[in-house]
Chain A
Amino acid sequence: MTSMSELLQHLINGITLGAMYSIMGVGFTLIFGIMEVLNFAYGQLFMFSAYTFLFLYSFFGGNFPPAAAITLTIYFLAGMLLEKTLVEPIQKKTPNWSIPVLMSTIGLGMVLENIALIAWGAIYRGIPYYFKGVLEFSSLRVSYDRLFILIVSVCTLLFTWFVVHKTKIGLAMRAVSQNRKAAALMGIDTNKVYMFTFGLSTALVALAGSLLIPILSVYPTVGSICGMKAFAVTLLGGIGSMEGAIISGFILGIVESITAGFISPFFVDMAAFLCIIIILVFFPRGIYGMLRRERK
C-alpha cells in the first residue's frame, strides 16, 4: 500500500513538472512549426526570465501577479525585438534559414549565459514558496505551490490554444505554418506574424521561468538542460504540433519523476532521453504521428 501511495505521489510531482515542460514545449513548437526556427537560446531565456522575475518579486514585496505580469510583458516585447534583430536579417538573405538562425540563437544563448554569470554569479537562487502549506489526502501530500503551478499552467495552455485556434492572428499563424507563400499572397504580413509568434513563445518561457522558482532554484547554467528538454518535448510531440507537445511534456515529466523516485535521481536525464529515442524509433513523427495513426 505504501508503494502505491508513493507511486501516486511521484505521479503528482511528475504532472506538475510535466505541466512546465508542456508550456516550454508549446512555446518551442510554436516558433518551430510556424517559422521553422529552432530557438537554442530558449533555456537561457528561461533562466534570464527567472532572474527578472526574482528581482521583480522582491521589488513588489512578494506579490506574484504584478511581478509575473511585468515579466511576461517584458519578455513578450523582448521576443519581438529578438525576432526583428536576429531572425529577420537572415530570413531576408537566404531561403534556408533554419540552420543559420539556429546558430545565431546559440550565440545569443552564450551571451545571455555569460551576462548572467557576471551579473548574478554562480550561486543558486530561489524563493521557498508562494503559498505556505500542504494539502493532504490520507497519505498524499501536495503543496499549495504545486497546485498553483498546475492550475496556472493549464490556464496558460488553454489560453495559448485559444489564441492559436480562435483568434484572427492565430488563423494567420496557422496559415503561415501551412504555406508561407500562399499566406503572403492572401495579404498576411508574414513578418508581423513571425514577430508575434516569437514574442508569444518568449512570453511562454518567461511564464515557465517565473512559475518554476519554488521547485527549481535558478543558476546561470540551468538554461542549457532546460533548453534541451524543451527541444526534446517538441520533437517528441511531433513537428509543430501543440497537442503533441502538451502530451509529451506530461510524459517526460512523469517518466522523470518516477525514475527519480524509484531508481535514482542520477538516471533522470538518461531515462528521459532513452524514452525519447524509443518513441522516436517506433514513431518517427512523434506523439502526433502516433495519434494520427490510431485515428486512421
Chain B
Amino acid sequence: MINKIVILLILLFLIIFPFFGGSYEIHLFILSMIFGITAMYWNLLDGYIGIINFGYAGFFGIGAYCSALLSMRLDVSPFLGLIIGGLVAGAIGVFITIPFLRLGKYAMCMATLAFSEILRVICSGWVEVTRGEKGLWGIPAFFPSSSATYYLVFLILMMGSYILYKIVNSKFGLAFMAIREDETVAYVLGIDINKYKLLASFISCFFAGIAGALYAHYIQLLAPAIFGLSYTLQIMAMSLVGGKATVFGPLLGSFILTLLPEYFRFLAEYRLIVYGLIIIVVVNLFPNGIFGGIYYIKKSIEKFIAGEDKKVHTLET
C-alpha cells in the first residue's frame, strides 16, 4: 500500500516536473532517465541472470550510432531509428553472446569488455562513415523543445520499467534467478539455460540500444568514447549504488549519481573525487545498494515493532 502511494507520488512529480523545473534541471532529468533505463537493463543481466556485461556501453553506442547515422545519411525519422537502433543492438547482443555462452562469469566480463573496446577502435578508425575521432554532430533531434523530449523519454522509461517489472515477476524472472543462483540446479530443473541467457541478452541489449538512440538524438553529438569502459563503469555504478536485483533501484541510482555531482559544483575540480568517494561510502555501508539498505532498515523497524527475536534477513543476492 505504502509502496503504491510512494510510486504514484514519484510518478506525479515526474509528470508535472517540466512545468516548474528550470531548463537545466530538465536536461539533468532527461539524462538521468536515459541512463536510468540503461542501468535498469544492465541490472537485468547482472542482478537477475548473473551475466556481468562489461561491454554494455558498446550496445548503448551501437544504438546511438545506428540511429544517428540512419537519420543523418538516409533521412530516416529518429522515431524509426530508435527502434532500429534497439533491434540492431539486441541482435548484436545475441550474436555476441552465442560464442560466449560457455564462458565463466568473469571470462564473460572480459570478453564483453574486449568486444566493446574493439567496437571503439572500429568506430574511431572507420572515418568515412563515422567521421572517426571528430565525432558526429548535428544529429537531428526528436522535438525542438526539450520538454517534449522529456515526455518522450519519460514514456519510454515507463514502458521499459513496466516491461522489466513484468519480466522479473513472471516465470521468466524465476528462471533467470534460478540460473543466477546455481546453473547446475537450474539445468536439472529443466531450465534451458542457453535460451534464457540469450533471451535476457536480447531484451537487455535492445533497451540499451534504445537508450543510446535517445541519447544520440537528445545530445546531438557523438564520439567514439561512448563505447569506452568509463561509460560502462558509470552505468554499473548507478545500478549498484541504487540496488542490485531490484527493478527501481538502478533508476534511483542514476538520479542520485547524475544530480548529486551538480550540488558539488562549488567544489569545482574536486567534484569527481567526491563522486568517487560517494560510491565508495555507499557500497561500504550498503553492499546491496541503497534499495538493499532501505529494505534492511524496514525489516529492522518491523522487527523492532514486533519485538520478535528473529534474525533480520538482509537482501542477499
- With A38-B106, A106-B233 known as contacts, the answer to whether A280 contacts B273 (CB < 8 A) is no
List the 6 closest pairs (A to B, CB-CB), nearest first.
Answer: A110-B276, A107-B279, A273-B114, A235-B110, A111-B276, A100-B287
Q: Mark A89-124, 1 if CB is under 8 A from B, else 0.
A: 110011111011101101111110111011000000
In the complex, the chain B residue whose C-beta lies closest to that of A41 is B276
| Contact indicator A228/B104 (Cβ below 8 Å) | no
CB-contacts of A6-31 with B (<8 A): none
Q: Mark B82-103, 1 if CB is under 8 A from A, else 0.
A: 0000000000000000011011
| Contact indicator A110/B117 (Cβ below 8 Å) | no
The minimal Cβ–Cβ distance linking B85 to chain A, given in whole angstroms, is 23
CB-contacts of B268-315 with A (<8 A): 269-270, 272-273, 275-280, 283-284, 287-288, 314
| Contact indicator B110/A232 (Cβ below 8 Å) | yes
Most buried by A among B111, B125, B270, B287: B287
- With A96-B316, A100-B240, A103-B237 known as contacts, the answer to whether A90 contacts B283 (CB < 8 A) is yes
Q: Mark B221-257, 1 if CB is under 8 A from A, else 0.
A: 0000000011001001100110010000000000000
Q: Mark A266-291, 1 if CB is under 8 A from B, else 0.
A: 11011001101100110011100000
- Asked if B156 CB lies within 8 Å of chain A CBs, one says no
| Contact indicator A235/B269 (Cβ below 8 Å) | no
Could you list which residues of chain B lie within 8 angstroms of chain A, going by C-beta atoms? 46, 52, 99-100, 102-104, 106-107, 109-111, 113-115, 117-118, 121-122, 125, 229-230, 233, 236-237, 240-241, 244, 269-270, 272-273, 275-280, 283-284, 287-288, 314, 316-317
In the complex, the chain B residue whose C-beta lies closest to that of A267 is B121
Could you list which residues of chain A lie within 8 angstroms of chain B, going by C-beta atoms? 32, 38, 40, 86, 89-90, 93-97, 99-101, 103-104, 106-111, 113-115, 117-118, 224, 228, 231-232, 235-236, 239, 266-267, 269-270, 273-274, 276-277, 280-281, 284-286
Contact with B244, one of A99, A104, A273 (Cβ below 8 angstroms) = A99
| Contact indicator A96/B317 (Cβ below 8 Å) | yes
- With A86-B284, A118-B270, A274-B118 known as contacts, the answer to whether A110 contacts B317 (CB < 8 A) is no
Distance in angstroms between the alpha carbons of A106 and B314 in the assembled complex: 24
| Contact indicator A89/B121 (Cβ below 8 Å) | no
In the complex, the chain B residue whose C-beta lies closest to that of A227 is B229
| Contact indicator B229/A89 (Cβ below 8 Å) | no
